[in-house]
């Protein structure tokens, strides 16, 4: 599968990942500019970003970026390579196992946009989906994965949808209705004070809106206010525990322990290595070959 296809697939699935792209490669190295890979929260790498040694450096950096959300220019140098000047947004790491080349890799975390669920098949719902997407929100057709839910169903299943959204922990629930009907719907639900604060009816800032597009704009302005001023956030993705890291006893490089990490068990002790060469060397040194 091409990396561009995989990136599109992960974005569609609303899964977090880091896209790593080689922007400079100095011979001798197995990579070339344009090579790319995605790194998932469990540490797995799909694509090509270099050999096992380079992968270890990329993996370690990527797992941190999924938490910070910041982009990074990762500079990987061999042990005797020329130093790069320090710069904001860049990290230089020395990899003693590189064959002599140097690499620069641009790493960009892709965190799913805040999800806005729109319930209903109405002109207002259609306008919300189109306009919300242009603002960069993840427009969803249901409650799952949504931080905000807009109910524009014109009276269909409003009470049950509000209840389901509250039970799912949605922090912004907007009901498109008149003030009188909205109050009747909310009163019928017997909400506690915290739940009542999450439900907004009628939803939307007062701007004299009349058309479906104008009403959608007023509703989305309420969502923007909730995000920018009231602290509405996307739910944290369920990231697996980060893989353990150990130090390669041969080259002293920090290694992420994965299923395919070179490994040696000797006299009750486990050792992991950045590449098979270090494993072979260490096995010979301790007589475990």
Predicted confidence (pLDDT) per residue in 181-193, tens digit: 999 999 999 899 9
Structure tokens at 280: 């072979």
CATH number of 115-228: 3.40.50.720
Lowest pLDDT segment from 12-21, 23-32, 90-99, 178-187: 90-99
Give me the residue spans of the domains in the chain: 14-110, 115-228, 245-286
User: E strand or H helix at 139, and its extent?
Assistant: strand 138-140
In degrees to the nearest 10, what's the CA dihedral of 159, 162, 163, 165?
A: 160
Least confident of 35-44, 82-91, 146-155, 280-289: 82-91
143-183 pLDDT tens trace: 998 999 999 998 889 999 999 999 999 999 999 999 999 99
- What is the Cα–Cα distance from 12 to 28, expressed in whole angstroms? 37
29 within 8 A of 98, measured Cβ to Cβ? yes
Alpha-carbon distance 74 to 107, whole Å? Answer: 7
Alpha-carbon 245 to chain mean position: 22
- Which of 144, 157, 210, 153 minimizes the C-alpha distance to 176? 153
Q: Higher pLDDT residue, 88 or 19?
A: 19
Q: How far is 165 from 173, CA to CA, in rounded Å?
A: 7
At 80 the pLDDT is: 64
Q: What does the block give as tokens for 144? A: 């799952």
3-state secondary structure of 82: coil
Q: Which residues pair with 38 in a beta bridge?
A: 19, 46
d(CA 152, CA 158): 9
Q: Which residues of 232-242 are buried (b: 16+ CB within 10 A; e: fewer)?
A: bebeeeeeeee
> Under a CB-based contact definition with an 8 Å cutoff, are residues 69 and 63 in contact?
no
How many Cα atoms sit within 13 Å of 174 on the Cβ side? 28
* Cβ within 8 Å of residue 159, ≥6 positions away: 185, 188, 189
pTM: 0.65
What is the per-residue pLDDT across 250-267, written as a single tens digit (0 to 9) for each? Answer: 877 778 888 888 888 888
Closest to 148 (Cα-Cα) out of 232, 221, 214, 213: 232
Q: In the block, which residue shows the tokens 């020395």?
A: 94
DSSP 8-state class, residue 77: E
DSSP for residue 140: E
């Amino acid at each position: 599968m091409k990396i561009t296809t995989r990136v599109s697939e992960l974005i569609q699935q609303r899964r977090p990942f880091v896209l790593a792209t080689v922007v400079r490669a100095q011979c001798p190295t197995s990579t070339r500019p344009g090579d790319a890979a995605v790194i998932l929260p469990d540490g797995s790498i799909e694509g090509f970003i270099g050999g096992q040694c380079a992968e270890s450096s990329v993996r370690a950096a990527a797992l941190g970026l999924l938490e910070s959300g910041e982009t990074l220019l990762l500079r990987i140098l061999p042990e005797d390579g020329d130093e790069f000047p320090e710069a904001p947004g860049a990290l230089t790491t020395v990899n003693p196992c590189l064959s002599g080349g140097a690499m620069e890799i641009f790493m960009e975390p892709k965190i799913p946009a805040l999800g806005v669920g729109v319930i209903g098949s109405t002109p207002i719902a259609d306008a919300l989906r189109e306009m919300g997407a242009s603002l960069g929100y993840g427009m969803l057709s249901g409650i799952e994965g949504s931080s905000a839910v807009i109910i524009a169903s014109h009276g269909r299943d409003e009470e049950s949808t509000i209840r389901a959204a509250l039970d799912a922990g949605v922090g912004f629930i907007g009901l498109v209705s008149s003030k009188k009907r909205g109050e009747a719907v909310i009163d019928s639900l017997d909400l506690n004070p915290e739940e009542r604060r999450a439900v907004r009816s009628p939803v939307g800032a007062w701007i004299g809106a009349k058309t479906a597009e104008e009403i959608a704009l007023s509703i989305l302005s309420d969502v923007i206010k909730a995000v920018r001023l009231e602290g509405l956030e996307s739910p944290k993705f369920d990231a697996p525990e980060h893989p353990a890291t150990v130090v390669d006893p041969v080259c002293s490089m920090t290694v992420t322990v994965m299923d395919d990490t070179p490994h040696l068990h000797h006299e009750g002790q486990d050792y992991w290595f950045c590449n098979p060469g270090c494993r072979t060397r260490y096995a010979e040194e301790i007589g475990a070959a």
